Amino acid sequence: MIVGIGLDLAEVRRYRFDERRLAWFARRVYTDEEMAYAMGKRHWPERLAGFFAAKEAARKAFGQAIPWRAVGVTHERTGKPALHFFGRYTELTRERGVRIVHVTITHTETTAAALVVLES
Ligand SMILES: CC(C)(COP(=O)(O)OP(=O)(O)OC[C@H]1O[C@@H](n2cnc3c(N)ncnc32)[C@H](O)[C@@H]1OP(=O)(O)O)[C@@H](O)C(=O)NCCC(=O)NCCS
């Protein structure tokens, strides 16, 4: 049964950070894995926007403010994204009776979007 959904859009231009802002976001918002993934790509602002949209979509789906670095996007070998929870949020899915967390991300030059669906 679907027990939560969250959708979010992010404007890519807001994620074209200069060096100082990039370092701040790397410390406060993105996981090390997200940073490594994004910065390995030519169009990294699109990736950072997509990851931010995924974090916001997760907040909406769960209906609570999960700290930015407590939820992060990882990738399966096929490229399919997945959400992982860290720190004291590792148990969030179990506590909320969520068995599967679905996430999908898309991005263009201007916009990124993410959808999160929670299944019990
Ligand atoms: C998945 C796919 C359709 C995305 O195509 P696209 O329109 O060029 O890309 P979008 O901007 O809409 O989405 C890109 C995002 O899709 C997600 N994605 C990548 N591979 C994926 C996969 N196999 N399944 C689900 N999502 C995937 C990633 O989050 C990716 O973002 P990233 O490049 O920053 O990691 C394309 O990469 C593809 O055909 N991959 C291989 C085949 C496959 O597994 N297809 C699954 C759908 S049938």
Closest residue by Cα to atom 10, ligand 1, is 106
* Residue 105: φ, ψ to 5°: -130, 140
What architecture does CATH give domain 2-119?
Answer: Alpha-Beta Complex (3.90)
pTM of the entire predicted model? 0.93
Q: What is the pLDDT of residues 58-116, one digit of tens each?
A: 999 999 999 999 999 999 999 999 999 999 999 999 999 999 999 999 999 999 999 99
Q: What is the pLDDT of residues 39-70, one digit of tens each?
A: 999 999 999 999 999 999 999 999 999 999 99
Residues annotated as catalytic are 60, 107
Q: Which residues surround ligand 1 with Cβ inside 6 Å? A: 47, 50, 78-81, 104-107
Rounded to the nearest angstrom, the distance between the alpha carbon of 106 and the centre of ligand 1 is 8
What is the signed CA dihedral for 89, 67, 5, 10, rounded to 10 degrees? -150
Closest residue by Cα to atom 22, ligand 1, is 80
